[in-house]
Amino acid sequence: MRFLYIAPRYHTNQIPIMKGLKENGHEVCFISHYTGKIEDYTYVQPVVAGYSKLFLVFEKLYVKVLKRNDSKAGNMKLKAGFPPFGKIRRLSEEFNPDVIIIRERSVYSIFAYLAVKNFNCPKILYNQSPYYEKEIKNDLPHRIVKALLPKVRMTPVLGRKDEKAAVEEGSVFVPFVMEPELEPSQKNWFDNNRIHLFCVGKYEKRKNIRLLVEVFSLLAEKYPVELTVAGECSSEFQIKYRQELLDYLKQHKLESRVNLLENLSREQMKEQYRSADLFVLPSTKEPASISQLEAMAFSLPVICSDTNGSACYVKDGINGRLFRDNEKQELLQVIEELTASRDKLVKMGEKSFHIIQEECSFQKYYEGILSCMDMEGKQQ
């Protein structure tokens, strides 16, 4: 088939999907709003449609003048930015897709959907709102937005299934795709007799790297541990945040045990996963994270917060531990529980690898897409 994706950027979590599609004989066109600083185009070269010239004028005024001291001002484009309508339609017509997958409920996505709405093929919305939600918002603004976007929605976030859980009509759970990388039997543990903790995240407050470093300073008093952090560091706000972390490490004499890496390539990231013994993601209110699945693919146990959208891939006590969001003491407790038992780390790492094999294959993703297409066809 011919798959057309329209999304803000070509994210890391798309790479194994594109690889699976190409290797199984499908064609792919990926239209993005913009490019990220670190992207891997091995399987697909995205077409950058960009934004309408009118919006770019407004964005410059908003970011450079109205919100010049706000580190998150640039994120406004993800919700309010709109595309060059004609360019989206022309690119889509030239590709002539069999299925169209549009990312997020946003102004950009609404314009993109209107541009391709009359194409004779299934259209699917992709976002990371949970399959099991606490409540389905059905007020007038939400009804209007839903009416202007595809009726079938796919999500890789399962959420919590309990008596209060609700499932939005037209929703399908389609797991992230992640290829197994390092079998448990091939992994070398505890280099130099130390436990190596690894964290991935942009150098910004929401990723809670400072919280992890503070916890590490307490662990370092009792255990032979080291910590490596790898993340994007490109904006002035990210550079400032990283420098504050470096100052903290110097103040607490931890420079030799904590390494703050920046802007690594994909291969460099793989080397870090290979050499780690425990993956920790302390970020708060994370919609969904692909890095912890990458860690699992390298046979690593994982610790993340209970609000992380990807927490559904971490079986608490089986292949890792969950902690209450932003709870420093609880984060310390779960890390200490695992670092105190090397046998537990090894066994949990084996479970992580098997979960990737069983639950995150390309075949699972492809079957999910077919289910979405079937559902969309029945709603016509």
- Each residue's pLDDT expressed in tens, for the chain with a length of 380 residues: 999 999 999 988 899 999 999 999 999 999 999 887 778 888 999 999 999 988 888 878 877 776 677 766 667 777 788 899 999 999 999 999 999 999 999 999 999 999 999 999 999 999 999 999 988 888 898 899 999 999 999 999 999 888 888 999 999 999 999 999 999 999 999 999 999 999 999 999 999 999 999 999 999 999 999 999 999 998 888 999 999 999 999 999 999 999 999 999 889 999 999 999 999 999 998 989 999 999 999 999 999 999 999 999 999 999 999 999 999 999 999 999 999 999 999 999 999 999 999 999 999 999 999 999 999 877 76
Which residue, among 336, 372, 300, has the nearest Cα to 156 in the 3D structure? 372
Distance of CA 246 to the CA centre of its chain: 26
Per the confidence metrics, is the pTM higher than 0.85? Answer: yes
Specify whether the CB–CB gap between 88 and 113 falls below 8 A: no
H/E element, 320: strand 320-323
Structural domain 2-177+361-379, CATH architecture: 3-Layer(aba) Sandwich (3.40)
Which residue, among 320, 322, 323, 321, has the nearest Cα to 347 in the 3D structure? 320
Considering the chain, tell me which residue range(s) the CATH 3.40.50.2000 domain(s) occupy.
Answer: 2-177+361-379, 184-359
- Collapsing DSSP to helix, strand or coil, 277 comes out as coil
Question: Which CATH number describes the domain made up of 184-359?
Answer: 3.40.50.2000
Cβ-based neighbour number of residue 301 at 10 Å = 26
Q: Which regions of 8-98 does DSSP assign to beta strands (E)? A: 27-32, 47-48
Compute the Cα dihedral for 90, 146, 287, 308 and give only its sign: negative
How far is Cα 362 from Cα 254, in angstroms, rounded to an integer?
A: 41
How far is Cα 194 from Cα 99, in angstroms, rounded to an integer?
A: 49
CA distances from 346 to 100, 152, 313 (A): 42, 40, 18
Q: Residue 97 carries which DSSP code? A: -
